[in-house]
Structure 1
């Protein structure tokens, strides 16, 4: 095992793609694992020919269409209309818009890209430092995974065998908790970063089109607001599975974009291309991690981990504390979806030994790894937010620690207060 993880670390340092790394470390050690090419050849196909995984490219296409058609901008305009009279309103708008986009894209990085590209320039015009804008946008992007539907949770549910619908329900309270913590930090910090603690006003009083009336802004945003209702209402109402809801949501986004003539033919093509490229990348990683995880299972690595944990760790609290530390480190160096696929099957059996609910453990796992998007070197949220705000990472450091601390506090509550995720079991 030491050689396996050593080779993995070496390939990643050398810049090898994640999919290549996961597959190559097993192919180079087939003899020691008692495997053969013939035995491994069908695993990639078996891993990605899973019905729940169809939701991933569909949700990605929905998010691309919402962003390129301008419906995402309409959501932010609505948030601006509702919150503009509040002191330091645009920080609240950023958090609210991130939650809205999370309900559409299911991806943290996609949420940061969509919201940051629209809100960041406006916040800078209103007097916020670039580093603060990037820090807030990157942190609020975590809601992209906590607000369902969530691509990492789809991956966890599909690989570990947990109800994806229950995982989506379980994220509701954690999402509200994390959003409230970010809002509190913004409320405190905005008094220091803004001159007089008050936002300036740009020439255009409104994030998008100052000529639009309030009624028009509400009307335009209605079609975008209905999308999460269709997706989540279908899932929670027991009408659709998450995969079926993803397909219906995708058709809805296509219909609205085309029907309202919000997107050009070129934009339509680019949306499909971007979703196909990103979705294919994730599926290739899933295929290769399938080889890795199959080798681990055949050699009883998850069982060995579970036995080791049961031998040296005596309580669920100590186990969860250890898991938090390990996952935060893993999230720092590995991409979230790959980390979910690697750590989920390895740690879930050990969690089960301690009587930890697999739904609760899935939320703990995903949230921990998502926080890794705020910690270099694999800090995708930071890089995307910095680019949107034209800021340097050094500019972000004075502010990022406060949001990172809020995320850790939220993670601690999610981890050690199971009711925060399993509340629906008590209704």
Structure 2
């Protein structure tokens, strides 16, 4: 593919990404893969170059662009103006530029989201948002049921210990983790350092009964099992059958035997958890959220989020947090986690629960992790304790 043909391909993919953002369609990564799955003539260098261009454009534009063409023009105008000469250059190039045609404006996030980040971070909001749009690193969690970090640092080429976590190592981006013997043998799992810190906040101990309420495919479940030394009772629940079905294979590879996946019926979770009411030493609720702390991995998520969708997410978080609280025994711990930096999804949810439940108290101040300050995904972590 010529540079001009790559630009035209980027426009087509960006059109699909913009439409998916408006309609709730597939993620940008998936759309890139679909595009090239039916264009086998494109070589690996072409695919990589187009993908990098698409994501550079997405990261550079805060508001949802009018079209893929407007998005690329706006990006090139601001960052690589020489690329504008590709338009109308013949062959498979995009059509020539015309006077007054739309072009997207650079930005960090939609204006309404930037207002919320300014409420959270004040004058540092722009720096925090810019860090959210960098490239995410590749982090692994060492599975202490099978290995220790010092051992693996010498066995995995390029592995680097992260000082603020007990089990995290960082690799160079682009490593195919599933080809590593350490991954195949269950010695490591892919997990961002921030997610590892969130799981560690539960302070899980051997012999406890712990509920992972929104377990998904089990990333934090595996970390909890390691903290419990594979002793006790660990119930991992979710309403998404597809995600939960991926857990058993991960448990087997990691050597975890105490985790019990349990599929819940959305909206009717309380009945399925009746046996755990007031019985858990700790409950982790990693609630569905905006994902604003993970924009490095999914930068188009800024385009998907709307005030109405955020309101729905907050309502669901409040419902799940109340459900989680009902399963905590007196003296037990409740940990609320969201991979979001928006205040209404983090500290405001915890404050609402504490106002509604006099038998709960804050166990520690909010733990806020950000790419800018902590070099990991963004998380808000609230630890609470049932006192009566």
**TM bucket normalised to smaller:** under 0.3
Q: TM-score, normalised by structure 1?
A: 0.25
Q: TM-score, normalised by structure 2?
A: 0.27
> Going by fraction, where is strand more abundant, 1 or 2?
2
> Going by fraction, where is helix more abundant, 1 or 2?
1
Larger of the two Rg values belongs to structure = 2
